[in-house]
Amino acid sequence: MSDVSADHATLGAEFDFLKGHIAATMTLIHALIDQGAVDRVALDRFFAGFIDQLPHTRQTVALRAVIEQWRQGLVDGHDVPQLNRRVFELVKGGLKGDA
């Protein structure tokens, strides 16, 4: 395997791990919402503040997109299955339509 192919394989594995980590984290948060342990409004305020503090760089684009799509579900009052669907669609490469 060439060095370029090995680099792409490593980056692909790292990206898959990152996508899995994002999905697992959001699933945990959704479970806490579903159990009433987390206030949607307070969580939305937290994420709004977090996003405001992120630098506007290429490195933060994906994180911003995931959090913004998820926040929209919180604001719209989506139930946990709808929130999960939107997160997984975004992690897989973009939303495929309205929830």
Residues 27-75 pLDDT 10s? 788 888 889 898 888 988 999 999 999 899 988 888 888 788 778 877 7
Alpha carbon of residue 3 to chain centroid:
31
Predicted local distance difference test score (pLDDT) of residue 98: 46
Please, are residues 91 and 65 in contact by the beta-carbon 8 Å criterion?
no
Please, are residues 23 and 91 in contact by the beta-carbon 8 Å criterion?
yes
Model pLDDT for residues 73-90, shown as the tens digit of each residue? 777 777 777 777 766 676
Please, are residues 77 and 90 in contact by the beta-carbon 8 Å criterion?
no
Alpha-carbon distance 60 to 55, whole Å? Answer: 7
